Amino acid sequence: MTTKDLLLQEIDQVPEHILEEVLDFVRSLKAKPQPEIDPKVWQAYLDSEREREEVYRRLANS
């Protein structure tokens, strides 16, 4: 499941009266300037995340 799929799944569970605040938050994130990330550093992070996916899942579910 992609991050977008997970976000949509979570949004489906948010009460209607809170959705406006969620929308404002997402828009504020888009407005922030994003720092440049060295592609080598990003790839190392992604590799680490894949290697430890099961550990992260267990921690999240505990």
pLDDT for 28 equals: 93
Distance CA 10, CA 13 (A): 5
Angle 27-46-58 from CA coordinates, rounded to 5°: 90
Q: Are 56 and 49 in contact (CB under 8 A)?
A: yes
pLDDT band at 30 (very low <50, low <70, confident <90, very high): confident
pTM: 0.47
User: In the 3-class helix/strand/coil scheme, how is the chain assigned residue by residue?
Assistant: CCHHHHHHHHHHCCCHHHHHHHHHHHHHHHHCCCCCCCHHHHHHHHHHHHHCHHHHHHHHHC
Say which residue the tokens 């799929």 belong to.
5
Task: Read off the pLDDT of residues 48-57 as tens digits, 9 standing for 90 and up.
Answer: 988 888 888 8
Share of the chain above pLDDT 90, in %: 55
Does 34 have pLDDT greater than 80? Answer: no
